[in-house]
Every structure is written in structure tokens, then in C-alpha cells.
Amino acid sequence: MTRKNFLSLALSLAVTVITGASLVAFAPAPTAIGSAAPSFTLTDLDGKSHSLADFKGKTVVLEWTNPNCPFVVAHYKSNNMQSLQKKYTDKGVVWLAVNSTNDQSGEFMSVADLKKNRTEWKSAYTAQLIDADGKVGRLYNAKTTPHMFIVDKDGKLVYQGGIDDAAGTSGGKDAKVNYVAQALDAVLAGKEVPTATTKSYGCSVKYATK
């Protein structure tokens, strides 16, 4: 190898290392439990704008969703997700389903189709928000559908992870612990969440390519 080729290779490797380090350094870090939940503003299926700050003083659930994901389908077909939504929204909890599926994905659904799906599944969330560019999903490091987050009345993240411990497509039927229900019961009772972080499971979030 000539000196010129060696220097060229060394420079190439250096650029690769630096670039890789930059990507790691600027990748969003997961928000720590007990820290302020990242703020955002998104529009729902009816064109209404919602900001996390609008709900300060209330407990907020963020449910990353994709109606074409088998894991999501299972939780809705079993009525597990709607039951949770209704139970806790009746107690004053704000439940926001967030859809970060990009419009180039084969799993993308138009607003009209999402509205139809909302009716067919008898969804009981407060609103479904459209995160078209995936910025909010990446801000929260939402990895799967579903991926659940709970924000307390002070705006702090108190839970993030899976809906339960089943980690399959039984729609919650095989679950021994529903982590979301457990966390919400604790928060509403003014107690510490017993299990604040778990591993989410489901389909990957279909983010837009950067």
C-alpha cells in the first residue's frame, strides 16, 4: 500500500469514527423516570391541536399505536385497550393515542380510514394524534406499537414500557400483570409507581426516513 493510499484510508476511517460518534452523541436519550416529559403539540383526527402542556394537572397516558400492527389489533380485538381507556378516562385521565406511521409505509392509514377504525373498534381514547414526521415519537424514544408512557399531573414521566407482561398477541389474555393499570392506580392514589420501566413489545414504529 502506498503512503498516499494509506493516508486516504486512515482519513476515511477517522471520518467514519467521528461521524459514528456524532450520531451517538446527538441521538435522543430516553427521558428519565421522574423527569419532565418532553413537550409537544400535535393535531388529532378532527383537526384539533393538542399540547401536553394543556393537560397539566391531569394524568396523561400516551399510547403509541398503529391499527395495522398485529399486536395493536390483538389488544383492540380483545377489548383490552378500550377497557383500559374507558376505565381511566372515566377517572379523569387523559388518554392520547399517538400515530407515528409515515405515509410511505404499507401500514399507513389516511385520517378518513383512522376515523373509520376508531368507530369500528369503539376506541375510548381522548384523542388520536398524528405524528407524521415522527418527531414526537423519536422525542419519547417510542420503539413499538404499542409503547406506553404515563405522565403525572406535574408533567413528570412516571412510567414507560409495555402494556403488560404478556409480550405476545393474546391481547392481554395471557398477562399476569397489566403494568399500565398498575401504574395508573398508583398515580391516582398518590403512590409511587411500583414498576416504572418495563420492556415494550409489539411492531416497530414505522418512522419516516430522516
User: pLDDT tens across 142-151, in order?
Assistant: 999 999 999 9
- pLDDT at position 155 over 50: yes
CB 93 within 8 A of CB 62: no
**Averaged pLDDT score across all residues of the chain:** 89
* Band (9; pLDDT cuts 50, 70, 90): very low
Lowest-confidence segment of 6-15, 24-33, 160-169 by average pLDDT: 6-15
Exposed (0-12), middle (13-18) or buried (19+): which is 21, by Cβ within 10 Å? Answer: exposed
**Mean pLDDT for the stretch of residues 168-179:** 96
* Band (30; pLDDT cuts 50, 70, 90): confident
Tell me the pTM: 0.86
* Band (31; pLDDT cuts 50, 70, 90): confident
- pLDDT at position 12 over 90: no
pLDDT score for 80: 97
* Band (196; pLDDT cuts 50, 70, 90): very high
Residue that wins the pLDDT comparison between 143 and 20: 143
CB 92 within 8 A of CB 59: yes
| pLDDT single digits (tens) 85-131 | 999 999 999 999 999 999 999 999 999 999 999 999 999 999 999 99
